[in-house]
Amino acid sequence: MNSTWQKNLNKLIQFKNEFGHLNVPKSYPDRQLARLVTTIRQQNRYRTLTSDRELALLRLGFDFEPMQSQWLKSYAKIVEYYRLKGHASPNRRSENEHERALADWVHRMHKLIRKNDLDEDKVDKLKLLNIDGKPSEHKIGMNGLPSSFDQYLIRLRSYIENNGATIDSRMYESSLYNWILLQRKRINASLISPLEYSSLIKTGLKFEEQSTTVSAKVIKFG
C-alpha cells in the first residue's frame, strides 16, 4: 500500500479514535486531512477510488455520502413519529424542541418536493407518509382522517358502488388508481394508520398481492 496513503489512513484512524467518527469538518485544524476526506468522497462518487482503498475505508466505517446518511436518519425519525401519532405533521410551535426540529425538516421536504429538488427515491419514501408538497391537504379532520385521504376514500366508495370492487390500470380515474397503489405501498411498508387501514377495508375492496389490486397485511403500529 502506498506509504502516503497509509499515513493518511493512520490519521483518519486517530481522528476516529478521538471523535468517534470520520466526518472531518472543513474547519478542522489539520486542513489537509479535511481536504482528504472531501477528495475521497469525490473519488468514490466518480468511481476513481481504488477497490483496496474503498475496502479499507469501509472497514473503518467511513461514510461516503454523509448528506444521504443524515437524510435517512431524519426520515427514520419522522417514520417513528408517524407510527406514534398516526400522521406526519409535527407542530412547528411545539414546546418540544425535537418536535419543532422534525416539523422544520418536514416543512423543508414539502418545499423541496414542490420545487422538484428531490430525487425520485426520496419523494417516493416521503409520499408513504403523506409528505408530498401539499401539507394543507393532509390536515386531520373531525373524523380523524387526513382531508385528502378522506376525499379519495369518498371517490373510492363511489367508484365501487358504480363499478364493483375490480380495481385495475384500465379504470377511468387514473388519479384514484394511483392513490390506491400508493395505499398498497403504505400498507406493505406498515406506514398507514389503523384508522386509515380500517377505512380502506370497510370499502369492501379486496386487498390481494397482485399487480392490479391492493395488498392487505397486518400492520405494526404504535
Beta bridge partners of 207: 214
pLDDT digits (tens, 9 = 90+) for 65-101: 999 999 999 999 999 999 888 889 999 999 999 999 9
Measured CA to CA, the distance from residue 152 to residue 138 in angstroms comes to 12
Scored b (16 or more CB within 10 A) or e, 63-78 reads beeeeeeebeebbebb
Total number of domains in the chain: 3
Confidence of residue 207 (pLDDT cuts 50, 70, 90): low
Q: How many Cβ atoms are within 10 Å of 114's Cβ, its own excluded?
A: 13
Q: Judge whether 149 lies within some domain.
A: yes
Domain carrying residue 91: 66-137
Whether pLDDT at 166 is above 90: no
Nearest CA-CA partner of 186 in 142, 141, 138, 154: 138
Specify whether 49 is located in the same domain as 82: no
The pLDDT assigned to 71 comes to 96
Q: Judge whether 25 lies within some domain.
A: yes
Q: Judge whether 194 lies within some domain.
A: yes
The pLDDT assigned to 190 comes to 87
**What residue type is assigned to position 144 of the chain?**
G
Q: What angle do CA 181, 186, 188 make, to 5 degrees?
A: 95
Q: Judge whether 210 lies within some domain.
A: no
Q: How many Cβ atoms are within 10 Å of 99's Cβ, its own excluded?
A: 16
Q: Judge whether 211 lies within some domain.
A: no
Q: Which of 114, 137, 160 is the last residue of a domain?
A: 137
Specify whether 133 is located in the same domain as 70: yes
Specify whether 126 is located in the same domain as 165: no
Cell of 14: 486517530
CA distances from 141 to 104, 137, 177, 192 (A): 22, 10, 23, 16
Specify whether 116 is located in the same domain as 161: no
Q: Judge whether 214 lies within some domain.
A: no
Q: Judge whether 209 lies within some domain.
A: no
Q: Judge whether 146 lies within some domain.
A: yes
